């Protein structure tokens, strides 16, 4: 994901698909290395920004769920994975791991099947209603976030069930460039 020139009220959703082809697998969604940058201050920002550092990750909210592939959050069949209408990206995405399927939750992803994760974001207050509809309230993200940016590494980690029958996503992720054990 790469969003340029984010403004209050900007909103979007994506679906990530994960395909298992050779052996049943446990899957985890890892977020790491959240980095924020102030990128200087323009006049509108300098008039209201009283904090040191960037504000965009604190003013942007994310919500994720295990999806059926259609990109629409449909509770109660589909379960929330992370985020609520009051949790900023800096809270739900900074050094976090979420279970797509491990030995305690979600079950293994079987060969020749696909798992999906839906993810929506809002530059402001993301409101997720009980029926699954979402809206974005721009009024909570003001000029404080102008010129700010943040980056984040997102990876999907898969572990073969036959090699790690009791694998849990919260276990320490393996070291290395690709995050695959």
Q: How far apart are CA 8 and CA 124, in angstroms?
A: 6
What pLDDT is attached to residue 155? 93
Burial-class residue 162 by CB neighbours within 10 Å (0-12, 13-18, 19+).
exposed
3-state secondary structure of 91: helix
The residues with which 102 forms a beta bridge, in sequence order, are 106
Q: pLDDT tens digit string along 2-33?
A: 666 778 888 999 999 999 999 999 999 999 99
151 within 8 A of 35, measured Cβ to Cβ: yes
CA angle 109, 25, 107 (to 5 degrees): 45
Q: Which of 85, 87, 117 minimizes the C-alpha distance to 14?
A: 117
Looking at per-residue confidence, does 165 or 151 come out higher?
165
Beta bridge partners of 159: 26
Q: Over the stretch 33-71, which tens digit does the pLDDT of each residue have?
A: 988 767 655 555 555 555 665 567 788 898 999 999 999
> pTM for this structure?
0.82
């Amino acid at each position: 994901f790469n969003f340029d020139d984010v403004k209050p009220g900007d909103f979007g959703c994506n679906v990530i698909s994960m395909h298992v082809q050779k052996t049943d697998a446990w899957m985890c969604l890892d977020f790491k290395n959240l980095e924020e940058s102030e990128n200087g201050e323009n006049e509108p920002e300098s008039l209201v920004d009283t904090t040191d550092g960037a504000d965009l990750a604190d003013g942007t909210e994310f919500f994720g769920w295990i999806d059926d592939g259609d990109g629409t959050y449909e509770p109660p069949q589909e379960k929330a994975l992370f985020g609520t209408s009051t949790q900023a990206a800096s809270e739900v995405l900074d050094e976090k791991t979420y279970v797509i399927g491990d030995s305690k939750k979600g079950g293994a992803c079987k060969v020749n099947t696909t798992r999906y994760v839906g993810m929506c974001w809002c530059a402001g207050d993301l409101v997720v209603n009980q029926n699954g509809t979402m809206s974005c309230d721009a009024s909570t993200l003001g000029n404080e976030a102008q010129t700010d940016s943040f980056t984040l590494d997102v990876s999907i980690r898969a572990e073969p069930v036959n090699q790690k029958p009791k694998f849990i996503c919260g276990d320490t992720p393996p070291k290395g460039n690709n995050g695959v054990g």
